Structure 1
Amino acid sequence: MRFMAQVFFASIATASFALTGCQQYVKTPQTTVLQVQDAQNFSLEGKIGVKTPKQTGSAFYTWQQNHDNFDIQLTGILGIGKTIIEGKPGKVTLNSAKTGEITAATPEELLERATGWVAPITHIVYWVQAKPATTTAQVEKDQQQRPKTIIEDGWTVDFSYNDAAALPNKLILKQALAEGQENRITMIIQNR
Protein backbone atom coordinates (compact mmCIF):
# COMPACT_ATOMS: atom_id res chain seq x y z
CA MET A 1 0.00 0.00 0.00
CA ARG A 2 2.79 2.42 0.90
CA PHE A 3 4.48 1.66 -2.39
CA MET A 4 1.30 2.47 -4.30
CA ALA A 5 0.95 5.81 -2.59
CA GLN A 6 4.51 6.65 -3.44
CA VAL A 7 4.02 5.79 -7.06
CA PHE A 8 0.74 7.64 -7.36
CA PHE A 9 2.13 10.87 -6.06
CA ALA A 10 5.34 10.46 -8.05
CA SER A 11 3.33 9.89 -11.20
CA ILE A 12 1.10 12.87 -10.74
CA ALA A 13 3.96 15.14 -9.84
CA THR A 14 6.18 13.76 -12.59
CA ALA A 15 3.49 14.08 -15.21
CA SER A 16 2.58 17.58 -14.11
CA PHE A 17 6.22 18.57 -14.06
CA ALA A 18 6.86 16.89 -17.40
CA LEU A 19 4.18 19.13 -18.84
CA THR A 20 5.53 22.25 -17.12
CA GLY A 21 9.28 21.81 -16.73
CA CYS A 22 11.75 21.22 -13.92
CA GLN A 23 10.98 22.19 -10.37
CA GLN A 24 12.85 23.31 -7.30
CA TYR A 25 14.60 20.60 -5.28
CA VAL A 26 13.29 20.39 -1.73
CA LYS A 27 14.40 17.70 0.72
CA THR A 28 11.65 16.16 2.86
CA PRO A 29 12.42 14.94 6.39
CA GLN A 30 12.05 11.24 7.11
CA THR A 31 9.60 10.02 9.76
CA THR A 32 7.98 6.75 10.70
CA VAL A 33 5.11 5.98 8.34
CA LEU A 34 1.96 4.41 9.78
CA GLN A 35 0.51 1.23 8.31
CA VAL A 36 -2.80 1.36 6.44
CA GLN A 37 -4.74 -1.85 6.92
CA ASP A 38 -7.74 -1.06 4.73
CA ALA A 39 -8.47 0.18 1.23
CA GLN A 40 -5.78 -1.79 -0.59
CA ASN A 41 -8.04 -1.98 -3.62
CA PHE A 42 -9.55 1.25 -4.88
CA SER A 43 -9.88 3.61 -7.78
CA LEU A 44 -9.90 7.40 -7.90
CA GLU A 45 -10.64 9.83 -10.70
CA GLY A 46 -10.23 13.56 -10.74
CA LYS A 47 -7.93 16.45 -11.47
CA ILE A 48 -4.61 17.49 -9.99
CA GLY A 49 -2.80 20.79 -10.24
CA VAL A 50 0.76 21.69 -9.26
CA LYS A 51 1.91 25.25 -8.69
CA THR A 52 5.42 26.34 -7.73
CA PRO A 53 7.06 29.77 -7.80
CA LYS A 54 8.30 29.02 -11.32
CA GLN A 55 5.77 26.66 -12.92
CA THR A 56 2.11 25.68 -13.05
CA GLY A 57 0.53 22.54 -14.52
CA SER A 58 -2.52 20.31 -14.25
CA ALA A 59 -3.76 16.95 -15.41
CA PHE A 60 -6.77 14.67 -15.19
CA TYR A 61 -6.02 11.35 -13.51
CA THR A 62 -7.37 7.85 -13.13
CA TRP A 63 -5.74 5.75 -10.40
CA GLN A 64 -6.44 2.01 -10.13
CA GLN A 65 -4.85 0.21 -7.19
CA ASN A 66 -4.83 -3.53 -6.54
CA HIS A 67 -2.83 -4.15 -3.36
CA ASP A 68 0.79 -3.22 -4.26
CA ASN A 69 0.18 -2.97 -8.02
CA PHE A 70 -1.21 0.13 -9.65
CA ASP A 71 -1.97 1.83 -12.92
CA ILE A 72 -2.22 5.61 -13.20
CA GLN A 73 -3.18 7.45 -16.34
CA LEU A 74 -2.76 11.20 -16.62
CA THR A 75 -4.01 13.35 -19.45
CA GLY A 76 -4.05 17.05 -20.17
CA ILE A 77 -6.99 19.03 -21.47
CA LEU A 78 -8.76 17.29 -24.38
CA GLY A 79 -6.76 14.09 -23.70
CA ILE A 80 -3.49 15.65 -24.86
CA GLY A 81 -0.22 14.59 -23.27
CA LYS A 82 -1.16 11.16 -21.98
CA THR A 83 1.18 9.72 -19.36
CA ILE A 84 0.99 6.16 -18.05
CA ILE A 85 2.57 5.14 -14.76
CA GLU A 86 2.62 1.52 -13.73
CA GLY A 87 4.04 0.09 -10.57
CA LYS A 88 4.70 -3.05 -8.66
CA PRO A 89 7.06 -3.61 -5.74
CA GLY A 90 10.60 -2.81 -6.85
CA LYS A 91 9.71 -1.26 -10.22
CA VAL A 92 7.92 1.92 -11.24
CA THR A 93 7.66 2.99 -14.88
CA LEU A 94 6.51 6.30 -16.32
CA ASN A 95 5.90 6.58 -20.04
CA SER A 96 4.91 9.70 -21.96
CA ALA A 97 5.63 11.22 -25.35
CA LYS A 98 7.41 14.15 -23.70
CA THR A 99 9.72 12.22 -21.35
CA GLY A 100 9.88 8.80 -22.95
CA GLU A 101 10.16 5.89 -20.55
CA ILE A 102 11.62 6.43 -17.09
CA THR A 103 12.06 3.47 -14.75
CA ALA A 104 13.04 3.46 -11.09
CA ALA A 105 12.93 1.15 -8.09
CA THR A 106 10.79 3.53 -6.00
CA PRO A 107 8.35 6.37 -6.63
CA GLU A 108 10.65 8.81 -4.82
CA GLU A 109 13.52 7.87 -7.10
CA LEU A 110 11.26 8.23 -10.15
CA LEU A 111 10.10 11.69 -9.10
CA GLU A 112 13.61 12.89 -8.36
CA ARG A 113 14.98 11.44 -11.59
CA ALA A 114 12.25 13.01 -13.69
CA THR A 115 11.99 16.39 -11.96
CA GLY A 116 14.75 16.85 -9.39
CA TRP A 117 12.01 17.39 -6.81
CA VAL A 118 11.55 15.47 -3.55
CA ALA A 119 8.10 15.40 -1.90
CA PRO A 120 6.27 13.28 0.70
CA ILE A 121 4.86 10.92 -1.90
CA THR A 122 4.56 8.07 0.60
CA HIS A 123 1.86 10.05 2.38
CA ILE A 124 -0.71 10.57 -0.38
CA VAL A 125 -2.55 7.27 0.13
CA TYR A 126 -3.15 8.20 3.75
CA TRP A 127 -4.18 11.75 2.99
CA VAL A 128 -6.79 10.74 0.37
CA GLN A 129 -8.27 8.60 3.15
CA ALA A 130 -8.26 11.60 5.54
CA LYS A 131 -5.59 10.04 7.75
CA PRO A 132 -2.21 11.21 8.93
CA ALA A 133 0.72 9.27 7.48
CA THR A 134 3.04 9.48 10.47
CA THR A 135 2.90 9.37 14.24
CA THR A 136 4.32 12.91 14.39
CA ALA A 137 1.51 14.55 12.41
CA GLN A 138 -0.46 17.45 13.86
CA VAL A 139 -4.17 17.00 13.12
CA GLU A 140 -6.90 19.63 13.43
CA LYS A 141 -10.46 18.26 13.16
CA ASP A 142 -13.73 19.81 12.06
CA GLN A 143 -17.02 19.69 14.00
CA GLN A 144 -17.73 16.21 12.61
CA GLN A 145 -14.32 14.97 13.85
CA ARG A 146 -12.90 14.63 10.32
CA PRO A 147 -9.38 15.92 9.67
CA LYS A 148 -9.59 19.54 8.57
CA THR A 149 -5.83 20.11 8.45
CA ILE A 150 -2.85 17.78 8.78
CA ILE A 151 0.65 19.17 9.21
CA GLU A 152 3.53 16.72 8.71
CA ASP A 153 6.96 16.49 7.14
CA GLY A 154 7.00 20.14 6.12
CA TRP A 155 3.61 20.03 4.39
CA THR A 156 0.20 21.37 5.39
CA VAL A 157 -2.78 19.48 3.96
CA ASP A 158 -6.21 21.15 3.98
CA PHE A 159 -9.24 18.90 3.43
CA SER A 160 -12.66 19.72 1.95
CA TYR A 161 -15.66 17.38 2.13
CA ASN A 162 -19.01 17.10 0.39
CA ASP A 163 -21.65 17.50 3.10
CA ALA A 164 -21.36 14.65 5.63
CA ALA A 165 -18.96 12.52 3.53
CA ALA A 166 -16.31 10.69 5.56
CA LEU A 167 -13.65 11.03 2.85
CA PRO A 168 -12.43 14.27 1.28
CA ASN A 169 -13.26 15.39 -2.23
CA LYS A 170 -10.47 17.99 -2.30
CA LEU A 171 -6.99 18.21 -0.80
CA ILE A 172 -4.66 21.19 -0.92
CA LEU A 173 -1.05 20.36 -0.07
CA LYS A 174 1.21 23.31 0.72
CA GLN A 175 4.94 23.45 1.37
CA ALA A 176 6.35 26.76 2.61
CA LEU A 177 9.48 27.95 0.84
CA ALA A 178 11.90 30.80 1.40
CA GLU A 179 10.78 34.41 0.90
CA GLY A 180 7.10 33.66 1.57
CA GLN A 181 6.70 31.43 -1.49
CA GLU A 182 5.22 27.92 -1.57
CA ASN A 183 4.77 24.74 -3.55
CA ARG A 184 1.07 23.88 -3.84
CA ILE A 185 -0.67 20.73 -5.04
CA THR A 186 -4.45 20.71 -5.42
CA MET A 187 -6.07 17.31 -5.78
CA ILE A 188 -9.76 17.06 -6.65
CA ILE A 189 -11.37 13.63 -6.28
CA GLN A 190 -14.46 13.43 -8.49
CA ASN A 191 -15.12 9.67 -8.24
CA ARG A 192 -14.06 7.00 -5.76
Structure 2
Amino acid sequence: MLLSAFPPGRTWHLLRCSLMFGLAMLVSACASISQDPLPAGLTEQPPADWAQRQNMLSNLDQWQLNGKLAVRQPGENASAVINRWTQDREQYDLHLSSSFLGMGRTELSGSPGFIEIRMANGDEYRSSDPENLISAATGWQLPIDSLVWWVRGLPDPGRDYRLLFDEQGALAEIRQQGWNIRYERWQAFIADTPALPARLTARKGDRLVRLVITNWQPL
Protein backbone atom coordinates (compact mmCIF):
# COMPACT_ATOMS: atom_id res chain seq x y z
CA MET A 1 0.00 0.00 0.00
CA LEU A 2 2.83 2.41 0.87
CA LEU A 3 4.81 1.72 -2.33
CA SER A 4 1.78 2.23 -4.55
CA ALA A 5 1.67 5.87 -3.47
CA PHE A 6 4.83 6.53 -5.53
CA PRO A 7 5.35 6.37 -9.32
CA PRO A 8 6.99 3.12 -10.51
CA GLY A 9 10.36 4.76 -11.10
CA ARG A 10 10.32 6.39 -7.71
CA THR A 11 9.35 3.09 -6.07
CA TRP A 12 12.32 1.27 -7.62
CA HIS A 13 14.67 4.08 -6.58
CA LEU A 14 13.49 3.82 -2.96
CA LEU A 15 13.86 0.04 -2.96
CA ARG A 16 17.37 0.25 -4.40
CA CYS A 17 18.43 2.83 -1.83
CA SER A 18 17.01 0.76 1.01
CA LEU A 19 18.83 -2.36 -0.20
CA MET A 20 22.12 -0.51 -0.60
CA PHE A 21 21.79 1.01 2.87
CA GLY A 22 21.05 -2.39 4.41
CA LEU A 23 24.03 -3.95 2.64
CA ALA A 24 26.29 -1.16 3.79
CA MET A 25 25.20 -1.65 7.39
CA LEU A 26 25.82 -5.41 7.14
CA VAL A 27 29.31 -4.92 5.69
CA SER A 28 30.07 -2.38 8.40
CA ALA A 29 28.95 -4.78 11.13
CA CYS A 30 31.02 -7.63 9.68
CA ALA A 31 34.03 -5.37 9.44
CA SER A 32 33.73 -4.32 13.08
CA ILE A 33 33.65 -7.99 14.15
CA SER A 34 36.67 -8.95 12.05
CA GLN A 35 38.65 -5.98 13.40
CA ASP A 36 38.17 -7.05 17.01
CA PRO A 37 41.80 -7.62 18.05
CA LEU A 38 42.82 -11.00 19.44
CA PRO A 39 44.94 -11.28 22.59
CA ALA A 40 48.65 -11.63 21.85
CA GLY A 41 49.67 -15.18 21.00
CA LEU A 42 46.11 -16.42 20.39
CA THR A 43 44.36 -17.39 17.17
CA GLU A 44 40.90 -18.45 16.05
CA GLN A 45 42.46 -21.03 13.71
CA PRO A 46 41.92 -24.46 15.31
CA PRO A 47 44.70 -27.06 15.21
CA ALA A 48 44.44 -29.92 12.73
CA ASP A 49 43.32 -32.38 15.40
CA TRP A 50 40.66 -30.13 16.96
CA ALA A 51 37.67 -31.90 15.37
CA GLN A 52 38.93 -35.28 16.60
CA ARG A 53 39.65 -33.92 20.07
CA GLN A 54 36.22 -32.25 20.25
CA ASN A 55 34.52 -35.48 19.25
CA MET A 56 36.41 -37.53 21.87
CA LEU A 57 35.62 -35.08 24.65
CA SER A 58 31.95 -34.87 23.61
CA ASN A 59 31.76 -38.66 23.88
CA LEU A 60 33.23 -38.49 27.39
CA ASP A 61 29.79 -38.12 28.98
CA GLN A 62 30.07 -40.47 31.97
CA TRP A 63 32.67 -39.37 34.49
CA GLN A 64 33.41 -38.29 38.04
CA LEU A 65 35.73 -35.56 39.28
CA ASN A 66 36.89 -33.99 42.52
CA GLY A 67 38.32 -30.55 43.15
CA LYS A 68 37.52 -27.06 44.36
CA LEU A 69 35.14 -24.31 43.27
CA ALA A 70 35.52 -20.60 43.93
CA VAL A 71 32.97 -17.88 43.24
CA ARG A 72 33.66 -14.16 43.35
CA GLN A 73 31.05 -11.48 42.79
CA PRO A 74 30.29 -8.02 44.22
CA GLY A 75 30.45 -8.19 48.01
CA GLU A 76 31.12 -11.94 48.09
CA ASN A 77 34.10 -14.26 47.90
CA ALA A 78 33.21 -17.89 48.49
CA SER A 79 34.70 -21.31 47.92
CA ALA A 80 33.63 -24.92 48.19
CA VAL A 81 35.15 -28.36 48.03
CA ILE A 82 33.78 -30.51 45.22
CA ASN A 83 33.47 -33.79 47.10
CA ARG A 84 32.08 -35.44 44.01
CA TRP A 85 30.77 -34.33 40.64
CA THR A 86 29.21 -37.28 38.82
CA GLN A 87 28.07 -36.89 35.24
CA ASP A 88 25.93 -39.58 33.60
CA ARG A 89 25.32 -38.24 30.09
CA GLU A 90 22.99 -35.24 30.65
CA GLN A 91 22.35 -35.99 34.33
CA TYR A 92 24.69 -34.40 36.90
CA ASP A 93 25.04 -34.89 40.64
CA LEU A 94 27.27 -32.34 42.35
CA HIS A 95 28.17 -32.65 46.06
CA LEU A 96 29.70 -29.53 47.62
CA SER A 97 31.00 -28.68 51.10
CA SER A 98 31.25 -25.03 52.09
CA SER A 99 31.09 -22.91 55.22
CA PHE A 100 29.86 -19.97 53.13
CA LEU A 101 26.49 -18.73 54.45
CA GLY A 102 26.26 -21.93 56.49
CA MET A 103 25.72 -23.98 53.34
CA GLY A 104 27.49 -27.02 54.76
CA ARG A 105 27.04 -30.03 52.50
CA THR A 106 24.92 -29.08 49.50
CA GLU A 107 23.86 -31.29 46.63
CA LEU A 108 22.90 -30.10 43.14
CA SER A 109 21.25 -32.64 40.86
CA GLY A 110 19.73 -32.05 37.47
CA SER A 111 19.89 -32.04 33.70
CA PRO A 112 19.62 -29.27 31.08
CA GLY A 113 16.68 -27.06 32.02
CA PHE A 114 16.05 -28.64 35.44
CA ILE A 115 17.75 -28.65 38.85
CA GLU A 116 17.09 -29.89 42.36
CA ILE A 117 19.05 -28.48 45.30
CA ARG A 118 19.27 -30.20 48.68
CA MET A 119 20.65 -27.99 51.45
CA ALA A 120 22.44 -29.15 54.59
CA ASN A 121 19.38 -28.35 56.74
CA GLY A 122 17.20 -30.68 54.66
CA ASP A 123 15.46 -28.01 52.57
CA GLU A 124 14.88 -28.99 48.95
CA TYR A 125 14.24 -26.73 45.97
CA ARG A 126 13.39 -27.54 42.34
CA SER A 127 13.23 -25.34 39.28
CA SER A 128 13.27 -25.34 35.47
CA ASP A 129 15.65 -22.35 35.68
CA PRO A 130 18.86 -23.79 37.20
CA GLU A 131 20.93 -20.60 37.26
CA ASN A 132 18.23 -18.53 38.98
CA LEU A 133 17.54 -21.23 41.58
CA ILE A 134 21.23 -21.58 42.44
CA SER A 135 21.40 -17.81 42.87
CA ALA A 136 18.28 -17.74 45.07
CA ALA A 137 19.37 -20.69 47.25
CA THR A 138 23.10 -19.95 47.61
CA GLY A 139 23.67 -16.42 46.36
CA TRP A 140 26.07 -17.78 43.71
CA GLN A 141 25.91 -16.92 40.00
CA LEU A 142 26.76 -20.33 38.53
CA PRO A 143 25.93 -21.16 34.87
CA ILE A 144 25.65 -24.88 35.62
CA ASP A 145 24.14 -26.04 32.29
CA SER A 146 27.08 -24.58 30.35
CA LEU A 147 29.64 -25.46 33.02
CA VAL A 148 29.01 -29.15 32.27
CA TRP A 149 30.56 -28.48 28.83
CA TRP A 150 33.18 -25.92 29.82
CA VAL A 151 34.69 -28.22 32.43
CA ARG A 152 35.59 -30.66 29.63
CA GLY A 153 37.12 -27.94 27.49
CA LEU A 154 34.13 -27.68 25.16
CA PRO A 155 31.69 -24.89 24.28
CA ASP A 156 28.01 -25.37 25.08
CA PRO A 157 26.77 -26.57 21.66
CA GLY A 158 23.36 -24.98 22.14
CA ARG A 159 24.68 -21.41 22.12
CA ASP A 160 26.90 -19.19 19.98
CA TYR A 161 30.57 -19.25 20.88
CA ARG A 162 34.05 -18.16 19.88
CA LEU A 163 37.16 -20.30 20.42
CA LEU A 164 40.73 -19.05 20.84
CA PHE A 165 43.79 -21.30 20.69
CA ASP A 166 47.36 -20.72 21.87
CA GLU A 167 50.55 -21.14 19.83
CA GLN A 168 50.79 -24.83 20.81
CA GLY A 169 47.26 -25.49 19.53
CA ALA A 170 45.70 -25.91 22.96
CA LEU A 171 42.31 -24.33 23.65
CA ALA A 172 43.05 -21.14 25.55
CA GLU A 173 39.65 -19.45 25.79
CA ILE A 174 35.95 -19.90 25.09
CA ARG A 175 33.77 -16.80 24.75
CA GLN A 176 30.11 -17.61 25.22
CA GLN A 177 26.99 -15.95 26.70
CA GLY A 178 29.11 -12.98 27.80
CA TRP A 179 31.46 -15.29 29.72
CA ASN A 180 35.19 -15.55 29.00
CA ILE A 181 36.38 -19.01 30.02
CA ARG A 182 40.15 -19.23 30.24
CA TYR A 183 41.98 -22.55 30.45
CA GLU A 184 45.03 -22.14 32.64
CA ARG A 185 46.19 -25.73 33.05
CA TRP A 186 45.57 -29.06 31.31
CA GLN A 187 46.33 -32.56 32.54
CA ALA A 188 46.17 -36.09 31.12
CA PHE A 189 43.81 -37.48 33.77
CA ILE A 190 42.40 -40.40 31.74
CA ALA A 191 44.34 -42.83 29.57
CA ASP A 192 43.59 -42.72 25.83
CA THR A 193 41.70 -39.44 26.30
CA PRO A 194 42.87 -35.93 25.37
CA ALA A 195 44.15 -33.78 28.22
CA LEU A 196 41.36 -32.32 30.34
CA PRO A 197 41.18 -28.98 32.15
CA ALA A 198 42.87 -28.97 35.55
CA ARG A 199 42.22 -25.28 36.17
CA LEU A 200 39.85 -22.86 34.46
CA THR A 201 38.47 -19.42 35.23
CA ALA A 202 35.19 -18.07 33.86
CA ARG A 203 34.55 -14.31 34.01
CA LYS A 204 31.53 -12.23 33.16
CA GLY A 205 31.74 -8.58 34.12
CA ASP A 206 32.47 -8.48 37.84
CA ARG A 207 31.61 -12.16 38.34
CA LEU A 208 34.17 -14.95 38.46
CA VAL A 209 33.91 -18.74 38.75
CA ARG A 210 37.09 -20.77 39.15
CA LEU A 211 37.41 -24.55 39.02
CA VAL A 212 40.44 -26.56 40.08
CA ILE A 213 40.19 -30.27 39.30
CA THR A 214 42.40 -32.66 41.26
CA ASN A 215 41.05 -35.99 40.05
CA TRP A 216 39.03 -37.15 37.08
CA GLN A 217 37.98 -40.66 36.16
CA PRO A 218 35.54 -42.31 33.74
CA LEU A 219 32.51 -44.25 34.97
Give the TM-score, by structure 2 length.
0.59
Alpha-carbon offset, residue 117 of structure 1: 6.7
1:191 maps to amino acid: N
Cα deviation 1:134-184 (Å, max 9, x = unaligned): 4632221123312111111111111022467722101101111xxxxx111
Alpha-carbon offset, residue 72 of structure 1: 1.3
Match of residue 212 from structure 2: 188
* Residue pair 2:67, 2:215 contacting (<8 A) in 1 also: yes
Match of residue 174 from structure 1: 203
Match of residue 148 from structure 2: 125
Q: 1:136 to 1:41 in 2, by over 3 A?
A: same
Alpha-carbon offset, residue 87 of structure 1: 2.6
Match of residue 98 from structure 2: 76
**Structure 2 unaligned blocks of 5 or more:** 1-54, 189-193
SS, match of residue 155 in structure 2:
coil
Identity of aligned residues (%): 28
Alpha-carbon offset, residue 101 of structure 1: 1.4
Q: 1:130 to 1:95 in 2, by over 3 A?
A: same
Match of residue 44 from structure 1: 65
1:167 maps to amino acid: L
1:131 maps to amino acid: L
Instruction: Find the aligned partners of 2:115 and 2:92 in 1 and give their Cα distance.
Output: 9
1:138 maps to amino acid: R
1:66 aligns with 2:95: no
Instruction: Find the aligned partners of 1:136 and 1:88 in 2 and give their Cα distance.
Output: 20
Higher relative contact order (CA 8 A, sep 6+): 1
Q: 1:96 to 1:137 in 2, by over 3 A?
A: same
Q: 1:67 to 1:142 in 2, by over 3 A?
A: same
Instruction: Find the aligned partners of 1:90 and 1:52 in 2 and give their Cα distance.
Output: 24
Match of residue 24 from structure 1: none
Equivalent residue in structure 1 for 2:128, among 93, 105, 114 = 105
Give the TM-score, by structure 1 length.
0.66
1:146 aligns with 2:170: yes
